Structure formats: C-alpha cells, structure tokens
C-alpha cells in the first residue's frame, strides 16, 4: 500500500491556552507569535503584553496558495505559537510547521479567546483591611477593561465595570453576526436631519469594509433607524437615505452593490425610550444584518 502524505489531522497539534501564553509573553520569554489572520483583522486588533510581543504576520491563505514560500517566512530555531481569529486556521498552520520540523503550537480559541480572557489580580491591602476582606482586580486584557471583586465572608460583590467606549471593529461585528445574525453600530454619526456621514464615522465604516473584504460571500442588509423627534414620514425617509449613504460609501470602496441592501425603518423599531435624551441617542443607529437571516 502506497504511503500517503502526513496530514495535520493525523497527529495531535499541541495547543496552548491564552491564559498560559500571556504570562510568558509578559515575561519576554522569546516566544514567537505567528499571526495568520488576514491583513485587515491583523491591523485592527493585536495581542499585547507587558513586554513587546515579537510577531510575524503571514496570512493563512498564503500557506494555502504557496506553502513552501509561506513556511520560509517563519524564522527557524524559535518556539512558535500560531494565532488566528478562532483557532481553526492556526491549528492547520501549526501542523504544517511541525511537518516542516518547526516546533509550533496552536492558540486555543484564537483572538476570540483573547478577547474574553479574564486575568485575576490580587490587590494588596493594609493588614486591618486584609483581615476583613479580599479585593481582586479582574482584567479583560484583550478589550482593555477591568472590574473589581470584593470577597468577604464567603460572598462576593462585583463592582461596576470600568470600560472605555466600545470600539466597533471587524472582529466585534463578525462575532455579533455569527451569534445573532446582526450587529448594532453606534459609530456612524450624522448631523441632525442629515444623511451625510460625519467625518468621525470613517473608523466604523472602514471596519465594515474590512469585514466584507475578509468574507467575500457575505451579504448585508444595512438598516437605518431614527428617534421620534420628527414626523413618522420624515423619519422613514431620513432612515432610508442614511442606509443608502452607508451602502454608497462601501460601493465606492469596491464592494459589489449586489452584496448590500439598504433599508430604512424610521422610528418604528426603537431599542430604548424616546422620551429621554439617552434613549433617543440609542435609537439613532445603523444596524447590519446578514441577508436572509431574519426569520
């Protein structure tokens, strides 16, 4: 019987959890991080540690198109850990590296796991306080936010999460679309009664563009929503024009028009109370939905 080439699936590929690799990166142990995500995702969000992280970026599709050339771009004589968005593509690349004689491990769960990883840190207390309670800082390092937990008498109290304004990224949009079929976006802003995106909207628009480029078969319904400050008829037309403006921006950047469908819902689908300023702000939004996902 003829020999067949060894496949990565024929032998287990070593894996490492985010909680195990981050301390090593913090200590600067010389681990080489090979990131195989596409260009847009890589530029948007990267693994950070308390010391500089030595990273080599070789997209996964480079290994598919020309494995030999892609493997040649990975330094030899180093311990390599391979990272992708969710841990699937990186597992395959880690297997290819092993076959080539390069010690490699796969980061379990990829950047998704990095984004949800929680690191507990004990907060030093004075002796009198330490006798009464413990205080823990819980760091969500991948999202640059933290919470505090106070423990006393076998019970715990979670403090309010201290988190910066949420940054809408291609990754966060992809997570929402994969989980719910839609993503709510608050980073696209318009002047009152206008359908022209304000300059600060460019960051979120660029992330939608990155998402569509990274998923060439993805089609999106782009929805415009308003508050109830004007008449229903006016708000309906305004929401339609805002959705069209987003689609036009994406089409100008090279996205095929048949992948996008602008829809306006006016004030008909509020997510908060229009009687308050905070509620009206939440209702003025853009949502994107996978075409055909609504039941």
- Rounded to whole angstroms, the Cα distance separating 104 from 14 reads 7
pLDDT digits (tens, 9 = 90+) for 125-152: 888 888 899 988 888 888 777 788 889 8
| Residue 208 binned pLDDT confidence (cut-offs 50, 70, 90) | very high
CA angle 249, 251, 254 (to 5 degrees): 115
3-state DSSP call for residue 102?
Answer: coil
Reading the block at residue 295, the tokens are 């039941």
* Whether the predicted pLDDT of 11 surpasses 80: no
pLDDT band at 164; cut points 50, 70, 90: very low
Element (H, E) at 204: helix 202-214
Annotate 183-206 with b (16+ C-beta within 10 A) or e (fewer).
Answer: bbbebbebeeeebebeeebeebbb
Per residue in 14-32, pLDDT tens? 999 999 999 999 999 989 9
Q: What is the pLDDT of residue 8?
A: 41
For residue 3, the model assigns a pLDDT of 37
Closest by CA position to 274, among listed 290, 258, 285: 285
Proportion of the chain above pLDDT 90, given as a percent: 56
Give the tokens for residue 168: 């809408």
- Quick check: 15 and 107 in contact, CB under 8 A? yes
DSSP letter, residue 27: T
- CATH code of the region 8-115: 3.40.250.10
Strand order in the sheet with 15-16: 15-16, 104-107, 80-83, 32-35, 55-57
Kindly tell me the burial class for residue 53, based on how many C-beta atoms sit within 10 Å of its own C-beta (0-12, 13-18, 19 or more).
middle
pLDDT, one tens digit per residue, over 32-58 is: 999 999 988 888 888 988 889 999 999
Q: For residue 40, what pLDDT is reported?
A: 81
Rounded Cα distance, 227 and 10, in Å: 57
Least confident residue range of 127-131, 160-164, 281-285, 287-291: 160-164
Give the pLDDT confidence score for residue 5 in this predicted structure.
Answer: 39
Q: Residue 24 has which token pair? A: 């090593």
What is the structure's pLDDT at 10?
52
What value does the mean pLDDT of the chain take?
A: 88
Q: Average pLDDT of 197-221? A: 92
Each residue of 245-286: pLDDT tens digit? 999 999 999 999 999 999 999 999 999 998 888 888 899 999
Residue 292 banded pLDDT, cuts 50, 70, 90? low
What SS3 class is residue 202? helix
Q: Which of 5-14, 110-119, 257-266 has the lowest mean pLDDT?
A: 5-14
pLDDT at 260: 96
Distance CA 174, CA 124 (A): 39
Residue by residue, DSSP assigns 31-96 as: PEEEE-S-HHHHHH-----SS---EEE--HHHHHH-HHHHHHTSPSSS-EEEE-SSSHHHHHHHHH
Instruction: For residues 97 and 34, give the distance between their C-alpha atoms in angstroms, rounded to a whole number.
Output: 11
Does residue 241 sit in helix, strand or coil? helix
Show Cβ contacts of residue 120 under 8 Å, excluding neighbours closer than 6 positions: 136, 137, 138, 139, 149
Whether pLDDT at 79 is above 50: yes
Whether the Cβ atoms of residue 136 and residue 148 lie closer than 8 Å to each other: yes
Q: Report, at the CATH architecture level, how domain 170-290 is classified.
A: 2-Layer Sandwich (3.30)
pLDDT at 75 over 60: yes
Per-domain residue ranges of the chain? 8-115, 118-158, 170-290
């Amino acid at each position: 019987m003829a020999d067949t080439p060894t496949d990565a699936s024929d032998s287990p590929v070593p894996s490492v959890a985010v909680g195990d690799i981050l301390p090593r990166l913090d200590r600067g142990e010389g681990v080489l991080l090979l990131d195989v995500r596409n260009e847009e995702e890589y530029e948007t969000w990267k693994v950070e540690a308390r010391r500089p992280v030595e990273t080599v970026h070789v997209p996964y599709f480079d290994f598919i198109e020309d494995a030999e050339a892609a493997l040649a771009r990975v330094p030899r004589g180093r311990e390599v850990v391979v990272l992708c968005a969710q841990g699937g593509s990186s597992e395959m690349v880690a297997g290819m590296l092993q076959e080539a004689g390069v010690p490699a491990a796969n980061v379990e769960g990829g950047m998704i796991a990095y984004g949800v990883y929680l690191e507990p840190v004990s907060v030093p207390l004075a002796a009198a306080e330490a006798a009464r309670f413990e205080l823990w800082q819980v760091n969500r390092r991948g999202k640059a936010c933290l919470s505090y937990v106070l423990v006393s008498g076998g019970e715990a109290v979670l403090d309010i999460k201290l988190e910066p304004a949420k940054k809408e990224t291609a990754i966060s949009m992809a997570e929402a679309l994969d989980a719910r079929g839609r993503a709510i976006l608050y980073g696209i802003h318009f002047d009152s009664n206008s359908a022209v995106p304000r300059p600060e909207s460019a960051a979120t628009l660029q992330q939608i563009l990155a998402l569509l480029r990274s998923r060439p078969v993805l089609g999106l319904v782009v929805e415009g929503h308003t508050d109830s400050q004007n008449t229903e008829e006016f708000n309906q037309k305004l929401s339609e024009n805002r959705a069209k403006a987003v689609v036009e921006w994406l089409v100008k950047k090279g996205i095929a028009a048949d992948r996008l469908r602008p829809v306006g819902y006016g004030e008909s689908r509020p997510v908060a109370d229009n009687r308050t300023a905070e509620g009206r702000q939440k209702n003025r939004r853009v949502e994107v939905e996978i075409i055909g996902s609504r039941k």
